[in-house]
C-alpha cells in the first residue's frame, strides 16, 4: 500500500527530530560518506526526496549501506544527522515490506543479529555466522576461517543468557 | 480653565468602519475643559488641518487632541498646523485610534467605547501639557573617522572636501586597509592599488585631514556635537618630522625574516618596516617585539645609518585628545581563521586546520597574484615555489554554517573566487581551476556576467557541492567533494587549495563599539539604526557607520556607505546648533537624594553627577543631572527613581496619573 | 585505587578476546579495579538502532541500569560501538526524554542518569593514570612508528560525553607518545573501515579497510593501533585477503591500544593475547631490548 508522501517526511521528523527542510543540499554528507556512489542514490538526495514528498528512499538500497559512521552528522553545516534518518528509513522499509533485493543480505544480517540479541542477550558471533549463512543460502561462506578462529581461542560456545531485555522488548512487562 | 479642541478622524474607512467617530466627538464635547469637538473624514488633509487652525484661532484653544492614526505618521503634521497658528506644538497630542483601536478590534460598540476612553485620557493629559521648546546643543564642526580602509578614506575625503576638518585614525602603520592587499578588483579587474593609492595620497595631502596612523581610539567622552576622543598614537620609534622615507633603514635591518601581515604571512619583512611600498605615510615603524635592539640591546644599525637622525628608541606612545562633533566608524573586516578556535567557532581541521602550507585563504591568494607580492605576481605554491597545475577553490568556508561556523553569507566570496579562478587561468593557461560551490551570489552590476565569463571563456569548472575534507598526500592535496548536479562523488588531487573563508569584523570591534555606545550583534558587526531606512546611522547619536564593520560588503557598497555617512555628518553640521526634541528628563535637584539609580539604568549615558557646592566651594552634596543633549526621552529614569525627583518633560507623573484617573471611574 | 564497572561487550568475550585480556592485564598493572557488570547484555551495536530503535533504547537502558547497581563506579568499555551506544542512550535520556520514556517504562528499572560512560582510551588519558604509566614504563617503545586509527565511533558524534575533538583528536597519539613510541601523521585515521558490512558486504570492507592499510603503510607505520574490536577484525582478520587482492606483500600488525601500552609496561605478550592475532605480531621487533628505565 502506498502511503501519501508528506507522511514519510513527517514520520522521519517525528522519529528522529531531523527536519528535512533544513537541508540546503550542499552535498557535504555525500562528499564524506564512505558509501557514496556504492548504492543507487547519493546520501544528500535522500533529504531532497523527502523535501519533495517523494518516498523512493524507502525503496532504495542507500539506507541499507549506511554503517552509522556519523561523518555526515559531524560535518553537516545545518547540524542535521542523516544517519538517524537512514535508521528510520530502514525501519520504515521493513514495516512496508519495500526492502530492495540488493539489500536483502544486509537486512538479513542485521535481523538475525538483532533476533539473537533479543533472544539470548549476548551475541555468539559463530552462531550469527552460521545462521546468516543458512538464511542467505551460502552455507560454506567463511567456513575456512572457523578452524583459524578456534585455534586462536576466538570462538565461545555457550555462555550466559540474559533474557530480560528481550522480554521487555516483546512487551512482557518487567523482567 | 483649559480650552481643549478635539478632532476625531475617520481616516477614510480605516477608523470610521469600526469606530463611531461622531459618537466619540459627541461623548467628549461636554467634558470640563473641552471647547470644541468635531469629527472629520481626513484630518491630515488640507481642509482637515485648516479645521484645526481655524478652531485654534476662533476658540482660542490652548490644547489640541487629534484622534487619528499613529503619531509616528502624523504627529509632525498636526504639530506644524498648531505651531502655524501660534500654539506651542507640544500642546498638540495625538490619540492613536487606528493602530491601537480600530485596526485591532472588531466589535464596533466596544471599539467606540475604547476610543472614547483614549480621548478622555488624552484630554486630561493635554490639560497639563506645558509649552516646550527644542533644545539647542552646540556643535563642534570637526569629524572623526575611525579606520583608514577604502570606506574610511572615502568618508574622510568627502568630509574634508565639504570643508569639514577631519581626523582619520588608523591602527596599522599605513592607511589603505584590505583593499591595498588586493591584486585586482571585480568585476573590472582594475588594479586595486592603482585606484586606491591616489585616494590615499589625497588623504595625506588634504589640508583639512589630520592623519593619525599606528593609532587607536582609547577613550571616548561626550555626546553628539561634543565628543572628546582620546587617541593613542603608538610609538613608531621614528621621528616623523625628520624621516624622509628613504628606506635605507629597511634595507639594512638585519632582522629580515618576520612574517609580513600585509603579505598575509606569505612574505617577510624587516623589523623596521613600511607595510608596502606605496604606504601612506611612507615612513617606517619599528616592530618592537621583533627588533634586536629592543630585545637585547644590540644592533641599532638603522639609527647609525639614518641620515636625518630620525630613529628615536626613546619614543613613547602619545595620547592626543580630539574634539569632534561626529564620528564615523569604518573599521572594516577580518577573515575567519580556520585553525584558531575562536569563541564558539570551531575552526576546520577537516580542511587542514591552517597547517597545510598549500591550503591558503583569499587574502593570501591576492598576495600571490599581486605584482608587488612575495612571488612577483606568479601563482606559486607556498610549500615549494612550484607553479600549481590544478587549483581547487572552496566556497563558503565558515559562512552559511550554523553548525561550526557562522550562519550568515559573507557576500563577496562568490565574486572574488570567480576572480581568483579567472586570474589563475590567465596566468597559468594550461592550469585547471575547479570551484566547489553551493550557490553563486553575483548580484551587483556586471557581477553575473563576470562569473559567466569565468565559466564560459576561462573554462573554470564549477562543481556544485561541498568538500567533506582534504589531506596532503605525496606533495599534493587530495580533495574529497561531490557534484550534486550529476550525483557524482569527486575526489581531486590538487596542487593548491584556496578557501573562501568567512568575513568577520576586526578583532576588538566590540570594544570599540562599547567606547562609542554603538550597538553590535552577536558577531560584533555594528548595528545600524534601522536595517532598511537608516543604514549608516547607529543608535548612538552622532556616530555613523560605513563599510564592512556594519556587515560584509564589497567595495562599491563600502564607498557608497562612506559617502552616505559623510553626508549625514554634513547634514548634522549644516546648522550651527543642534536642535533636539524637548522630551527629555529633568532632575528636581532639591529633592534628589543622589542615589544615581537613574544613572545606572540610563541606556544612553545621559545622566551625569553634579556637585552642589556652597559659596566657599565646599561640597554639599551630589545630585543627578540630565544632559539634555544625550537624553532620548525613554523615561526609564523616571520609572526607577525612588524619590520621584526625575521626570520626563511632557510625561510627568501628574500627567500620567491624570490619564489613569480619567480611565478609572 | 580507581574502580570501574567493566562492560566488555559481546566481541570481547569471543572474537576480540585479546582485547579483553589486555584490558585486564593493563588494569591490573596500573591498579585499576574492574568489576564486570553482572548480567550485561549486548549493546545492540549496529542492528538494533539500524532496524528497531526501540530495542536499541531497551538494550542501552538495561545496561545502564545494571551498571548503576552497586555503585561500582563509572562504566568502562573497550569497544567503541558499545561506548557509542551507551553514550547515545544516556544522551537520549537527557536530551530527548519524551522519546525514550516508553522504553524506560517498559523496562521498569532504576537508572542513575549521571553515570559516566568511559572508553578505556579516556581512562588511560587521565592525569593520574598517565603518571602511573610513566612510573611503570619499563620498555619505552622508542623508534616504533605507530599509526593511530580512531575509526568512527570513538570520537563521533560531538556533544555530551565525547572523547576528544571530532576532527582533530589527539588522545591516541598522546598515549602513543606517552609510552615512548612515535605517532605517525596520516590522513585516514578517522575514516570508516566498513564496520558491520564485514559479513553481508565484505567487498566494501575490503575497499575501505584496504585504503587504511595502504595509507598507514605508505606513511611508514610499523603498527596500526586501534580502539575497537570491529575495526580490529576488519583490519587484522581480513588483512591477508585484502592485501593479497591488492598485490601487496607487506603486512602490518594491528594492535589494540591496551596491548601497546601493555608491551611498554613490560607485561608478557601472552597475557596481552598477542598470539591470537591473524597478522603476526613480531614482538621482538616492536619492543626494544631490556635496559630501559625500570621502576
Q: Nearest-CA residue of chain B relative to A42?
A: B487
Q: List Cβ neighbours of A72 (8 Å cut-off, separation of 6 or more).
A: A28, A29, A32, A33, A43, A80, A81, A82, A83
Domain end position, chosen among A56, A82, A99? A99
Cell numbers representing residue B172 in the block: 596599522
Cα three-residue angle C178-C184-C188, rounded to 5 degrees:
120
User: C292 pLDDT band (50/70/90 cuts)?
Assistant: very low
Considering CB atoms only, which of C165, C168, C187 is closest to B472?
A: C187
Q: Is residue B136 part of a domain?
A: no
Tell me the β-bridge partners of B434: B392, B461
Q: Is residue B657 part of a domain?
A: no
Report pLDDT digits (tens) over B437-460: 999 999 999 999 999 999 999 999
Q: Looking at residue C290, what is its pLDDT?
A: 56
How far is the C-alpha of B310 from the C-alpha of C171, rounded, in Å?
54
Q: Subunits with at least 3 CB pairs below 8 A relative to chain B?
A: A, C
Torsion of CA C161, C162, C164, C169, to 10 degrees: 170
Chain C contact probe: residue of B344, B347, B348, B349 with most C CBs at under 10 A: B349
Decide if pLDDT at A64 tops 90: yes
CATH number of the structural domain C3-120: 1.20.1050.140
Residue A127, chain C, CB below 8 Å: the answer is no
For residues B307 and B347, membership in a common domain is answered with: no
Return the DSSP state at B565: H
Q: Looking at residue B68, what is its pLDDT?
A: 96
The total number of residues shown for chain B amounts to 665
For residues B80 and B25, membership in a common domain is answered with: yes
Domain end position, chosen among B524, B548, B577? B577
Contact C23, C78 (CB under 8 A): yes
Decide if pLDDT at B548 tops 50: yes
Burial B271-310 (b: 16+ CB within 10 A, else e): bbbbbbebbbbbbbbbbeebbebeeeeebebbbeebeeeb
User: B431 pLDDT band (50/70/90 cuts)?
Assistant: very high
Tell me the β-bridge partners of B4: B34, B63
For residues B371 and B487, membership in a common domain is answered with: yes
How far B402 CA sits from the closest chain A CA (Å)?
6
Q: Is residue A175 part of a domain?
A: no
Model-level pTM? 0.87
For residues B239 and B310, membership in a common domain is answered with: yes
ipTM for this model: 0.91
State whether C50 and A105 contact (CB < 8 Å): no
Residue A71, chain B, CB below 8 Å: the answer is yes
- Please report the residues numbered 30 through 49 in chain A whose beta carbons come closer than 8 angstroms to any beta carbon of chain B: 30-32, 36-37, 41-42, 44-45
Return the DSSP state at B342: B
Decide if pLDDT at A44 tops 70: yes
How far is the C-alpha of C270 from the C-alpha of C273, rounded, in Å?
5
SS3 (DSSP) at B21: helix
Cell numbers representing residue C277 in the block: 592475532
Chain mean position to CA B570: 17
Report pLDDT digits (tens) over B92-103: 999 999 999 999
Domain range for A13: 6-99
Number of domains in chain A: 2
For residues B369 and B491, membership in a common domain is answered with: yes
Cell numbers representing residue C263 in the block: 608491551
Tell me the β-bridge partners of B436: B394, B463
For residues A116 and A65, membership in a common domain is answered with: no
Report the CATH number that the domain containing residue B438 is assigned in CATH: 3.50.50.60
Q: Is residue A127 part of a domain?
A: yes
Decide if pLDDT at C294 tops 50: no
Average pLDDT over residues A103-107: 93
Domain end position, chosen among A99, A121, A145? A99
- Computed over its alpha carbons, how large is the radius of gyration of chain A? 19
For residues A85 and A120, membership in a common domain is answered with: no
Specify the pairing of strand B184-185 against strand B190-191.
antiparallel
User: C249 pLDDT band (50/70/90 cuts)?
Assistant: very high
Q: Is residue A111 part of a domain?
A: yes
SS3 (DSSP) at A17: coil
How far is the C-alpha of B419 from the C-alpha of B415, rounded, in Å?
6
State whether A34 and C191 contact (CB < 8 Å): yes
How far is the C-alpha of B422 from the C-alpha of B459, rounded, in Å?
9
**Phi, psi (rounded to 5 degrees) for C267:** -75, 145
For residues A10 and A91, membership in a common domain is answered with: yes
For residues B429 and B491, membership in a common domain is answered with: yes
**Phi, psi (rounded to 5 degrees) for B104:** -120, 5
How far is the C-alpha of C50 from the C-alpha of C56, rounded, in Å?
9
For residues A123 and A55, membership in a common domain is answered with: no
Residue C185, chain B, CB below 8 Å: the answer is no
For residues A81 and A131, membership in a common domain is answered with: no
Residue B409, chain A, CB below 8 Å: the answer is no
Sequence-separated contacts (24+) of B447-453 with Cβ below 8 Å: B447/B186, B447/B187, B447/B415, B449/B187, B450/B186, B450/B187, B450/B415, B450/B418, B450/B419, B451/B414, B451/B415, B451/B418, B453/B422
For residues A158 and A83, membership in a common domain is answered with: no
Sole residue written with cell 583490519: C235
Q: Subunits with at least 3 CB pairs below 8 A relative to chain C?
A: A, B
For residues B366 and B472, membership in a common domain is answered with: yes
Considering CB atoms only, which of A65, A125, A162 is closest to C14?
A: A125
Start-end of CATH 1.20.1050.140 domains in chain C: 3-120
How far is the C-alpha of B294 from the C-alpha of B314, rounded, in Å?
11
Residue A25, chain B, CB below 8 Å: the answer is yes
Cell numbers representing residue A139 in the block: 552455507
Number of domains in chain B: 5
Residue A168, chain C, CB below 8 Å: the answer is yes
Q: Is residue A174 part of a domain?
A: no
State whether B349 and C187 contact (CB < 8 Å): no
For residues B430 and B461, membership in a common domain is answered with: yes
For residues B207 and B64, membership in a common domain is answered with: no
Q: Looking at residue A4, what is its pLDDT?
A: 53
Torsion of CA C224, C225, C227, C229, to 10 degrees: 50
> Which positions in chain B touch A45 (Cβ < 8 Å)?
487
Average pLDDT over residues A58-66: 97
Chain mean position to CA C144: 20
Domain range for B93: 4-127
> Which positions in chain C touch B478 (Cβ < 8 Å)?
187
State whether B468 and A25 contact (CB < 8 Å): no
> Which positions in chain A touch C69 (Cβ < 8 Å)?
none
Mean pLDDT over all residues of chain B? 95
User: A174 pLDDT band (50/70/90 cuts)?
Assistant: very low
Positive or negative, the Cα torsion across A118, A122, A125, A126? negative
State whether B403 and A27 contact (CB < 8 Å): no
> Which positions in chain A touch C102 (Cβ < 8 Å)?
none
Domain end position, chosen among B449, B479, B504? B504
Q: Which of B150, A156, B23 is nearest to C14 (CA)?
A: A156
State whether A155 and C194 contact (CB < 8 Å): no
Chain mean position to CA B188: 28
For residues A16 and A92, membership in a common domain is answered with: yes
Q: Is residue B76 part of a domain?
A: yes
State whether C62 and A165 contact (CB < 8 Å): yes
For residues A91 and A117, membership in a common domain is answered with: no
- Please report the residues numbered 326 through 355 in chain B whose beta carbons come closer than 8 angstroms to any beta carbon of chain C: 346, 348-350, 353
How many A×C Cβ pairs under 8 Å? 165
State whether C39 and A17 contact (CB < 8 Å): no
> Which positions in chain A touch C86 (Cβ < 8 Å)?
none
How far is the C-alpha of A108 from the C-alpha of A131, rounded, in Å?
10
Chain A contact probe: residue of B403, B470, B479 with most A CBs at under 10 A: B403
Q: By CB neighbour count within 10 A (0-12 exposed, 13-18 middle, 19+ buried), where does C166 fall?
A: buried
Q: Which CA distances in Å does C109 have to A94, A121, C61, C278?
A: 30, 16, 8, 41
Q: Nearest-CA residue of chain A relative to B464?
A: A26
How far C107 CA sits from the closest chain A CA (Å)?
6
Contact B94, B103 (CB under 8 A): no
Residue C40, chain A, CB below 8 Å: the answer is yes
For residues B82 and B158, membership in a common domain is answered with: no
Instruction: Output the DSSP codes for B210-252.
Output: EEE-SEEEEEEEEETTEEEEEEEE---SB-TTT-----HHHHH
Q: Is residue B655 part of a domain?
A: no
Q: Subunits with at least 3 CB pairs below 8 A relative to chain A?
A: B, C
Q: Is residue B435 part of a domain?
A: yes
Q: Looking at residue A175, what is its pLDDT?
A: 33
For residues A81 and A23, membership in a common domain is answered with: yes
* Percent of chain B whose predicted confidence (pLDDT) is above 90: 93
Report pLDDT digits (tens) over B367-406: 999 999 999 999 999 999 999 999 999 999 999 999 988 9
Considering CB atoms only, which of B400, B404, B489 is closest to A37?
A: B489
Q: Is residue B245 part of a domain?
A: yes
If one counts every other C-beta atom within 10 angstroms of the C-beta of residue C247, the result is 6
Contact C119, C164 (CB under 8 A): no
- Tell whether domain C131-286 is in CATH 3.40.50.10860: no
Cell numbers representing residue B310 in the block: 630620525
Cα three-residue angle B20-B21-B22, rounded to 5 degrees:
95
How far is the C-alpha of C257 from the C-alpha of C224, rounded, in Å?
9
Q: Nearest-CA residue of chain C relative to A81?
A: C157
Q: Is residue A141 part of a domain?
A: yes
State whether B472 and C167 contact (CB < 8 Å): no
Decide if pLDDT at C98 tops 50: yes
Residue C91, chain A, CB below 8 Å: the answer is no
For residues A111 and A150, membership in a common domain is answered with: yes
If one counts every other C-beta atom within 10 angstroms of the C-beta of residue A169, the result is 22
How far is the C-alpha of B412 from the C-alpha of B161, rounded, in Å?
30
For residues A111 and A123, membership in a common domain is answered with: yes
Average pLDDT over residues B509-517: 95
How far is the C-alpha of B200 from the C-alpha of B156, rounded, in Å?
10
- Please report the residues numbered 173 through 192 in chain B whose beta carbons come closer than 8 angstroms to any beta carbon of chain C: none
The total number of residues shown for chain C amounts to 295
> Which positions in chain A touch B480 (Cβ < 8 Å)?
31-32
How far is the C-alpha of B377 from the C-alpha of B367, rounded, in Å?
8
Contact B416, B186 (CB under 8 A): yes
Q: Nearest-CA residue of chain A relative to C48?
A: A114
Sole residue written with cell 591550503: B359
- Please report the residues numbered 214 through 243 in chain C whose beta carbons come closer than 8 angstroms to any beta carbon of chain A: 237
State whether B465 and A45 contact (CB < 8 Å): no
Q: Looking at residue C47, what is its pLDDT?
A: 92
Mean pLDDT over all residues of chain C? 93
Q: Looking at residue A1, what is its pLDDT?
A: 52
Phi-psi sector, B232: left (phi>0), alpha (psi -120 to 50), beta: beta
Q: Which CA distances in Å does A169 have to A114, B6, B531, C83?
A: 11, 76, 56, 22
Domain end position, chosen among A71, A99, A127? A99
How far is the C-alpha of B571 from the C-alpha of A153, rounded, in Å?
89
State whether A42 and B468 contact (CB < 8 Å): no
Cell numbers representing residue B248 in the block: 635605507
For residues B107 and B177, membership in a common domain is answered with: no
B108: enclosing H helix or E strand: helix B108-127
For residues B388 and B500, membership in a common domain is answered with: yes
Phi-psi sector, B57: left (phi>0), alpha (psi -120 to 50), beta: alpha
User: A124 pLDDT band (50/70/90 cuts)?
Assistant: confident
Residue B401, chain A, CB below 8 Å: the answer is yes
Average pLDDT over residues A37-62: 95
User: A2 pLDDT band (50/70/90 cuts)?
Assistant: low
Decide if pLDDT at C295 tops 60: no
How far is the C-alpha of B199 from the C-alpha of B185, rounded, in Å?
16
Contact B288, B237 (CB under 8 A): yes
Note the maximum CA span of chain B: 96
Report the CATH number that the domain containing residue B10 is assigned in CATH: 3.40.50
For residues A88 and A22, membership in a common domain is answered with: yes
Chain B contact probe: residue of C186, C187, C212 with most B CBs at under 10 A: C187
Amino acid at each position: 500500500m502506498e502511503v501519501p508522501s508528506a507522511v514519510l517526511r513527517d514520520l522521519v521528523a517525528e522519529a528522529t527530530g531531523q527536519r528535512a527542510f533544513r537541508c540546503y543540499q550542499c552535498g557535504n554528507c555525500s562528499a564524506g560518506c564512505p558509501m557514496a556512489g556504492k548504492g543507487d542514490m547519493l546520501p544528500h538526495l535522500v533529504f531532497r526526496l523527502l523535501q519533495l514528498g517523494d518516498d523512493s528512499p524507502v525503496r532504495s538500497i542507500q539506507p541499507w549501506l549506511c554503517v552509522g559512521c556519523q561523518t555526515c552528522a559531524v560535518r553537516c553545516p545545518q547540524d542535521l544527522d542523516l544517519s538517524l534518518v537512514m535508521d528510520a528509513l530502514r525501519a520504515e522499509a521493513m514495516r512496508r515490506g519495500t526492502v530492495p533485493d540488493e539489500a536483502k543480505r544486509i537486512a538479513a544480517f542485521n535481523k538475525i543479529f538483532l533476533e539473537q540479541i533479543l533472544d539470548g542477550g549476548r551475541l555468539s558471533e559463530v552462531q550469527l555466522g552460521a545462521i546468516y549463512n543458512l538464511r542467505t543460502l551460502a552455507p560454506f561462506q567463511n567456513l575456512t576461517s572457523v578452524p583459524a578462529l578456534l585455534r586462536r581461542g576466538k570462538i565461545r560456545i555457550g555462555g550466559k543468557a540474559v533474557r530480560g531485555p528481550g522480554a521487555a522488548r516483546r512487551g512482557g512487562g518487567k523482567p | 480653565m483649559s480650552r481643549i479642541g478635539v478632532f476625531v478622524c475617520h481616516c477614510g474607512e480605516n477608523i470610521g468602519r469600526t469606530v463611531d467617530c461622531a459618537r466619540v466627538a459627541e461623548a467628549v464635547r461636554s467634558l470640563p475643559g473641552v471647547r470644541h469637538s468635531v469629527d472629520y473624514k481626513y484630518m491630515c488633509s488640507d481642509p482637515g488641518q485648516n479645521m484645526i487652525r481655524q478652531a485654534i484661532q476662533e476658540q482660542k484653544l490652548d490644547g489640541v487632541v487629534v484622534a487619528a492614526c499613529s503619531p509616528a505618521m502624523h504627529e509632525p503634521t498636526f504639530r506644524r498646523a498648531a505651531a502655524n497658528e501660534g500654539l506651542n506644538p507640544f500642546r498638540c497630542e495625538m490619540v492613536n485610534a487606528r493602530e491601537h483601536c480600530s485596526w485591532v478590534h472588531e466589535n464596533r460598540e466596544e471599539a467606540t467605547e475604547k476610543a472614547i476612553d483614549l480621548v478622555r485620557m488624552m484630554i486630561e493629559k493635554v490639560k497639563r501639557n506645558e509649552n516646550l521648546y527644542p533644545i539647542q546643543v552646540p556643535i563642534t564642526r570637526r569629524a572623526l573617522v575611525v579606520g583608514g580602509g577604502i570606506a574610511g578614506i572615502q568618508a574622510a575625503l568627502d568630509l574634508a572636501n565639504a570643508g569639514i576638518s577631519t581626523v582619520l585614525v588608523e591602527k596599522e602603520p599605513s592607511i589603505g586597509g584590505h583593499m591595498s592587499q588586493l591584486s585586482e578588483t571585480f568585476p573590472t579587474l582594475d588594479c586595486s592599488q592603482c585606484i586606491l593609492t591616489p585616494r590615499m595620497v589625497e588623504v595625506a595631502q588634504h589640508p583639512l585631514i589630520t592623519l593619525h596612523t599606528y593609532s587607536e581610539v582609547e577613550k571616548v567622552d561626550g555626546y553628539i556635537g561634543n565628543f572628546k576622543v582620546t587617541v593613542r598614537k603608538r610609538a613608531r620609534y621614528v621621528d616623523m618630522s625628520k624621516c624622509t622615507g628613504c628606506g635605507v633603514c629597511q634595507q639594512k635591518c638585519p632582522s629580515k625574516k618576520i612574517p609580513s601581515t600585509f603579505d598575509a604571512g606569505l612574505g617577510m619583512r624587516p623589523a623596521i618596516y613600511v607595510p608596502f611600498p606605496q604606504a601612506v605615510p611612507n615612513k617606517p615603524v619599528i616592530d618592537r617585539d621583533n627588533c634586536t635592539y629592543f630585545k637585547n640591546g644590540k644592533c641599532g644599525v638603522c639609527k647609525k645609518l639614518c641620515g636625518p637622525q630620525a630613529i628615536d628608541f626613546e619614543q613613547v606612545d602619545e595620547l592626543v585628545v580630539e574634539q569632534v562633533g561626529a564620528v564615523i566608524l569604518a573599521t572594516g573586516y577580518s577573515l575567519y581563521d580556520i585553525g584558531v578556535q575562536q569563541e564558539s567557532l570551531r575552526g576546520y581541521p577537516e580542511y587542514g586546520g591552517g597547517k597545510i602550507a598549500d591550503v591558503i585563504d583569499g587574502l593570501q591568494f591576492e598576495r600571490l597574484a599581486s605584482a608587488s607580492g612575495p612571488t612577483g605576481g606568479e601563482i606559486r605554491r607556498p610549500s615549494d615555489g612550484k607553479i600549481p597545475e590544478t587549483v581547487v577553490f572552496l566556497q563558503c568556508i565558515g559562512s552559511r554554517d550554523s553548525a561550526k561556523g557562522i550562519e550568515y553569507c559573507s557576500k563577496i566570496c562568490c565574486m572574488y573566487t570567480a576572480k581568483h579562478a579567472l586570474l589563475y587561468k590567465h596566468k597559468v593557461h594550461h592550469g585547471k581551476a575547479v570551484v566547489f560551490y553551493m550557490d553563486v551570489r553575483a548580484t551587483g552590476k556586471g557581477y553575473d556576467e563576470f562569473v559567466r565569463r569565468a565559466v564560459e571563456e576561462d573554462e573554470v569548472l564549477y562543481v556544485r557541492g561541498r568538500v567533506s575534507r582534504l589531506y596532503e598526500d605525496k606533495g599534493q592535496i587530495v580533495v574529497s567533494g561531490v557534484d550534486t548536479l550529476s550525483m557524482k562523488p569527486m575526489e581531486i588531487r590538487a596542487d593548491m587549495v584556496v578557501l573562501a573563508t568567512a568575513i568577520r569584523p576586526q578583532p576588538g570591534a566590540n570594544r570599540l563599539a562599547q567606547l562609542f555606545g554603538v550597538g553590535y550583534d552577536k558577531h560584533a558587526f555594528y548595528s545600524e539604526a534601522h536595517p532598511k531606512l537608516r543604514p549608516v546611522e547607529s543608535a548612538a547619536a552622532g556616530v555613523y557607520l560605513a563599510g564592512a564593520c556594519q556587515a560584509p560588503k564589497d567595495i562599491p557598497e563600502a564607498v557608497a556607505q562612506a559617502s552616505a555617512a559623510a553626508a549625514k555628518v554634513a547634514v548634522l553640521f549644516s546648522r550651527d546648533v543642534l536642535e533636539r526634541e524637548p522630551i527629555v528628563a529633568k532632575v528636581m535637584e532639591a529633592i534628589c537624594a543622589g542615589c544615581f539609580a537613574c544613572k545606572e539604568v540610563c541606556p544612553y549615558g545621559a545622566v551625569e553627577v553634579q556637585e552642589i557646592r556652597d559659596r566657599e566651594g565646599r561640597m554639599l552634596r551630589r545630585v543627578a543631572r540630565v544632559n539634555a543633549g544625550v537624553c532620548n526621552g525613554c523615561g526609564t529614569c523616571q520609572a526607577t527613581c525612588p524619590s520621584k525627583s526625575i521626570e520626563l518633560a511632557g510625561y510627568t507623573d501628574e500627567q500620567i496619573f491624570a490619564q489613569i484617573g480619567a480611565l478609572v471611574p | 585505587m580507581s574502580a570501574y564497572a567493566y562492560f566488555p561487550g559481546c566481541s570481547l568475550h569471543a572474537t576480540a578476546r585479546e582485547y579483553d585480556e589486555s584490558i585486564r592485564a593493563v588494569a591490573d598493572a596500573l591498579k585499576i579495579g574492574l568489576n564486570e557488570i553482572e548480567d550485561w547484555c549486548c549493546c545492540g551495536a549496529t542492528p538494533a538502532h539500524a532496524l528497531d530503535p526501540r530495542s536499541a533504547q531497551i538494550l542501552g537502558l538495561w545496561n545502564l541500569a545494571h551498571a548503576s547497581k552497586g555503585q561500582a563506579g563509572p562504566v568502562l568499555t573497550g569497544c567503541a560501538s558499545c561506548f557509542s551506544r551507551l553514550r547515545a542512550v544516556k544522551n537520549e535520556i537527557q536530551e530527548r526524554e519524551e522519546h525514550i520514556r516508553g522504553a524506560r517504562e517498559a523496562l521498569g528499572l532504576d537508572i542513575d542518569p549521571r553515570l559516566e560512560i568511559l572508553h578505556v582510551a579516556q581512562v588511560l588519558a587521565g592525569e593520574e593514570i598517565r603518571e602511573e604509566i610513566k612510573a611503570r614504563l619499563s620498555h619505552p617503545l622508542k623508534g616504533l612508528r605507530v599509526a593511530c586509527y580512531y575509526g568512527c565511533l570513538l570520537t563521533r558524534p560531538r556533544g555530551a560525553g565525547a572523547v576528544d575533538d571530532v576532527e582533530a583528536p589527539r588522545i591516541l597519539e598522546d598515549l602513543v607518545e606517552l609510552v615512548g613510541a612515535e605517532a605517525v601523521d596520516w590522513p585516514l585515521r578517522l575514516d570508516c573501515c566498513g564496520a558491520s558490512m564485514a559479513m553481508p558486504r565484505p567487498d566494501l570492507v575490503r575497499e575501505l579497510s584496504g585504503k587504511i592499510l595502504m595509507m598507514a603503510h605508505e606513511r611508514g607505520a610499523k603498527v596500526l593501533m586501534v580502539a575497537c574490536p570491529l575495526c580490529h577484525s576488519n583490519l587484522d582478520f581480513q588483512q591477508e585477503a585484502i592485501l593479497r587482492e591488492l598485490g601487496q606483500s607487506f603486512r602490518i600488525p594491528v594492535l589494540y591500544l591496551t596491548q601497546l601500552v601493555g608491551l611498554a609496561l613490560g607485561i608478557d605478550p601472552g597475557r596481552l593475547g598477542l598470539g591470537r592475532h591473524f597478522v603476526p605480531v613480531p614482538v621482538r621487533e616492536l619492543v626494544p631490548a631490556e635496559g630501559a628505565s625500570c621502576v
